[in-house]
Amino acid sequence: MAETTLIPEAIHALAEGRHGDPFAVLGPHDTPAGRVVRAMLPGAVSVAALAPDGTAHRLAPLHAAGLFEGPVPAGGRYLLRIDWGGAVEEVEDPYSFGRLLGELDIHLLREGTHRDIARCLGAHPMEVDGVQGVRFAVWAPNARRVSVVGDFNNWDGRRAPMRLRQECGVWEIFLPRLGPGAVYKFELLDPNGSLLPLKADPVAWQAEPAPATGSVVADTAAIRVAPRPIPPGDPAAQPISVYEVHAASWMRGEDNLPLSWEELGDKLIPYVKEMGFTHVEFLPVMAHPFGGSWGYQPLGQFAPQGALGPPEHFARLVERFHEAGIGVILDWVPAHFPTDTHGLAHFDGTALYEHTDPREGFHQDWNTLIYNLGRREVRNFMIGSALHWLEHYGVDALRVDAVASMLYRDYSRKEGEWVPNIHGGRENLENISFLQELSNVVAERCPGKLLIAEESTAFPGVTRKAHEGGLGFDFKWNMGWMHDTLHYMERDPIYRQYQHGGMTFGMVYAYSERFMLPLSHDEVVHGKGSLIGKMPGDDWQKFANLRAYLAFMWTHPGKKLLFMGGEIGQWREWSHDRSLDWHLLDEPRHAGLQRMLRDLNRLYARTPALHALDCDPAGFRWVVMDDAANSVLAFLRLGPEGSSPVLVVCNMTPVSRSGYRLGAPAGGAWREVFNSDAAIYGGANGGNGGRVQAQEMESHGLDASLVLELPALSTLVLTPEE
C-alpha cells in the first residue's frame, strides 16, 4: 500500500464505514508532499485523477476496501476516472464541492422557521459550480454517520457519506451526474455506531409505489402549480360543496387496477363539474406503506403516493381541476405516523420525530407514533409539509385529520397512561400552539387558502382566530350534527317522534363555530354499511329517506361534504380495493338519486339564502321545530339584503300530510323550486304542482301562511315568486 499522511484510525474508519467527517479526509487536501486526492470507492480496480489539461494522475490504493490516494495539480476541477473492472466511469468528485446549504438556510433550520423546507432538505437536481447533479440534505443530528445509497453506488454506505452541518444537525452532499428517477435511501449509524435499517427520505418529493420503500429523485424545480384565483370575500359566505374521494377506488380500470393521476383526471373532473360540486377532497394522497390505511398513516409527507404516477402528474391533476373551476382539498395528517422501520421511527437511532415516552408518543388505537410537535424542528417539518401542498402543488385547502387526538393528552387513554401538561391539565399545549402557528403561517403565506378541522369534541374556539385565543381553522367538521341526524334517520319512522331533537339540536350550537356538515368515508366502513343501507324500510322507502335527508342537509346551515358513492345509492359498504358500483346507474332509482344531488348542488350554489349567511344567526329561523308527532320540520333560510328567503319543509314519515299550514314571511305566490319526491328523482311525484298561493293568515309568528301537501318522506324547498 502507498504511503500517506492519514493516520491508521482514519483509514480503518473509512474502510469500515464509521468515519463521521468524510470531507475532512476525502477529496482534495493540501499535505506537506503537495496537493492530494483521496477517494473511497469499494470495488474499483484502479482510479486516476484527470487534471483540467487532460493529464491523468494515478491514485494508489491505501486500503484493500477501496481507499485510494494520489497527487493532483493545484487549482481547477478534476475528474475521477474509475475502472470498475471493465466498465470505466469519469465523474466529478463529490468531495471536491464546498458547503451546500446557505447560512440563511442553516439559521432558519436551527430556529425551526424555515418555511420552504421542501426546497431545502430532500433531493434536488441542480447545478453546482457548473456541474449537474443532485443535492441531498437530511436532518439526523444524533447519527454517527449518514450516507446516500442507491443503485448508483451499489447501495454501499461507504461510497457517499455526507457532511454534517453541526449548527443544525443536517447532513448534506452533492452527487454529480445524478438526475431525476434515481432511487435512493439513507444509511445511518446510530449514536452507538450501530447500523440502522435503510431509511427513506422524510422530505422526498417522490416515493416508490408500495410495497417498495425507496425514495425517488424528482424534478423538483418543475413542480409548481399556479394558484387558483381565490373567490373574493369571506369563505363562510361562499357555496362550498365537497365531493370526498379515495383516489385509488373511485373508479378502477382493467384488472381492477387503480386509475393513474392522468386517467383519474379524464374521468373525475368532468364528473365533479357535472355534479355541481365546488370542491373535491382527496383522502390523503401522501405516500403511505399500507393501502388499507387509506393514506391516514402516511410516511411521505411531501410525496404523492407513487402507485398512481409521478408527482408532476399529480400537479397537473390539480391544475386541471382549477381549469375546470373546481377547488382541491387534501386530507393531511399531522397527528401520527406508522412505525415502519424504513420511515421516521427512531430515524437517527433516537426518538427524533416522536416522543421518547410512549405515554406521549404512542397511539394505542392505531399502533402509530405521535409527532413531538413541541420540538421546533419537528414543528418546522410539519408546517413545511402543509406549505408544500398549498404552495408547490397549489391545493386550495387542507382538511386536518384527527385534531381531537392532538388536543388532549389523555385522548383514548386511561388513568396513569398519560402525562399531564406543565400545569397538571389534560390539554396538549404544545399541539395547540402548533395548530395556532400553522394557521398563522398559512394565513400569512397563503391568503385565501383554507384549513378545515376534523375535530369531534367541544374544544372551544376551533374556528376562532389564533390571535384571539382560538386554533385558527376556517371550518370545523360538525361531527355532532352528523351523528345526531344519522341516528334519527336510521330509526324506523314510527319511532322518530321520540328522537325529534336529533334533527333540531344542531341549531342550538350551529353558530358556536364555522361548520361543515360531513357525511364522510368514516360512515360507510368498518361494518357500518352504506349510506342508503342505513335507511329503514323497503327499497322505495330507503331511497325516499336518503333523498329527504340529503335535501335536509343541503338546506341546513353549514358547508357540505359527501363521500363518493353516497350520491348514487351504493348498496355495498365502501372498500378501498374495488371501484364504486357505477353499474347501479343503469337502474332509475339510483340515477334519480344522482340527478337529485346534482340539482341540489346547483340550487345551493345559485341561491344566496342557502349559503351566504351559513355562519350568521340572521340566516336561519325555525318555522316548525316542535311537531314531533308528525315528524315535520320547517325553517327559513335568509340571505343578504335584497335576496329572496327560502322555506324548507321536511316530512320524515312515510305518511303524506295534506293541508299542512305553516307560516311564511310574505304573501303572494310561492314556487316549489325543489321536491325530493319528484318523479325524475325516483319519487311518487307528490307535492304542490310547482306553485302555491300564500294566504294573508298569520301562522307560526309570521304574517302569511301556506297550506301545503307534504309528500311522504320528502323535503320541499319554496321561494316567493318574483
* pLDDT tens readout for residues 263-276: 999 999 999 999 99
Mean pLDDT of 670-696: 96
- Catalytic, out of 391, 401, 430, 709: 401
Mean pLDDT of 454-472: 95
Task: Determine whether 677 is an active site residue.
Answer: no
What pLDDT, on the 0 to 100 scale, is given for residue 683? Answer: 97
Mean pLDDT of 197-216: 97
Task: Determine whether 172 is an active site residue.
Answer: no
Of the CA atoms within 13 Å of residue 408, those in its CB half-sphere come to 15
What pLDDT, on the 0 to 100 scale, is given for residue 297? Answer: 94
pLDDT digits (tens, 9 = 90+) for 241-269: 999 999 999 999 999 999 999 999 999 99
Q: What percent of the chain has pLDDT over 90?
A: 92
- How far apart are the C-alpha atoms of 90 and 93, rounded to whole Å? 9
pLDDT of residue 668 exceeding 80, the answer is yes
- Catalytic, out of 377, 454, 455, 599: 454
| Strand pairing category for 668-675 and 632-637 | unpaired
pLDDT band at 1 (very low <50, low <70, confident <90, very high): low
Q: Where are the domains of the chain?
A: 8-96, 103-222, 617-720
What is the end-to-end Cα distance of the chain in Å, rounded? 98
The rounded Cα 657 to chain-centroid distance in angstroms is 46
pLDDT of residue 143 exceeding 60, the answer is yes
Q: Which CATH class is domain 8-96?
A: mainly beta
Q: Give domain 103-222's CATH superfamily.
A: Immunoglobulins (2.60.40.10)
Element (H, E) at 337: strand 336-337
Q: Which of 388, 390, 400, 300 is nearest to 117 (CA)?
A: 388
| Angle value at C-alpha 513, between 642 and 277, nearest 5 degrees | 65
CA distances from 391 to 268, 270, 675 (A): 23, 25, 42
Do 8-96 and 103-222 agree at the fold level?
yes
Range 384-403 burial, b when 16+ CB lie within 10 A, else e? bbbbbbbbbbbbbbbbbbbb
What pLDDT, on the 0 to 100 scale, is given for residue 74? Answer: 80
Report the predicted TM-score, pTM, of the whole model to 2 decimal places.
Answer: 0.95
- How far apart are the C-alpha atoms of 300 and 305, rounded to whole Å? 8
- How far apart are the C-alpha atoms of 122 and 202, rounded to whole Å? 7
pLDDT band at 3 (very low <50, low <70, confident <90, very high): low
pLDDT digits (tens, 9 = 90+) for 312-323: 999 999 999 999
Mean pLDDT of 384-412: 96
Q: Which residues pair with 286 in a beta bridge?
A: 304
Alpha helices in 82-153 (DSSP H): 103-111, 117-120
Residue 226 per-residue DSSP state: P
Q: Give domain 617-720's CATH superfamily.
A: Golgi alpha-mannosidase II (2.60.40.1180)
- Dihedral pair phi/psi, residue 477, rounded to 5°: -60, 130
